[in-house]
Amino acid sequence: MSTEANVLTQDAIPAHAIPMQAQVYVRLRHRLREVETLLDQRSRGELVDETGDERVATRQTLDAQATLLRDIAERAQVVPISSRAIVGSVVYTRASEDAPLERYEIVLPTESDPAEKKIAFDSPIGRALLGREVGELATVETPRGTRELRVMVVKHE
């Protein structure tokens, strides 16, 4: 596993890659180091304040999070800021011409918070918006059916 993200132009991103802002990649690597440190401390017996069942559950949770973060880090592609939605972008959409704007921030799965409109890049809406530019239509497959969202604004904060 490489510890350096590949930096590509928007047109050169492989289909399996996850395009993201540099600061998102830094947060990803930082969180992965935190989780790996916790796993290491747990394996050395330094974290023993829970009961056995809690320890197993926490270990399983940390293992799952580490696996997810490693996979994302391996597929991460740091791309220059452009008009395309990438992980780290705030995207404003509209379902129809008379509908209000909807705001979504595309984030890592570990940072998602639907109540705050922070959606994981691998969620149905996140997948539909990733790589889209202003004016493009994103088709979202949800449990309630198909939705179409027109991208109105892409911001990189």
Q: Are 27 and 67 within one domain?
A: yes
> Are 69 and 97 in a shared domain?
no
Banded pLDDT at 142 (limits 50, 70, 90) = confident
Alpha helices in 10-141 (DSSP H): 22-43, 52-75, 124-129
pLDDT digits (tens, 9 = 90+) for 57-97: 577 888 999 999 999 999 999 988 888 999 999 999 999 88
| Per-residue model confidence (pLDDT) at position 15 | 58
| Structural domain count, the chain | 2
pLDDT at 45 over 90: no
- Residues 34, 62: one domain? yes
Domain ends where: 59, 78, 97?
A: 78
Mean pLDDT of 39-47: 77
**141 belongs to a structural domain:** yes
Q: What is the pTM of this model?
A: 0.77
Last residue of a domain, one of 78, 101, 119: 78
DSSP string, 63-124: HHHHHHHHHHHHHEEE----SB--BTEEEEEESSTTSPPEEEEEE-GGG-BGGGTEEETTSH
Compute the distance between CA of residue 157 and CA of residue 155 in angstroms, rounded to an integer: 6
In a domain, 83, yes or no: no
Q: Is residue 63 domain-shared with residue 93, that is, in the same domain?
A: no
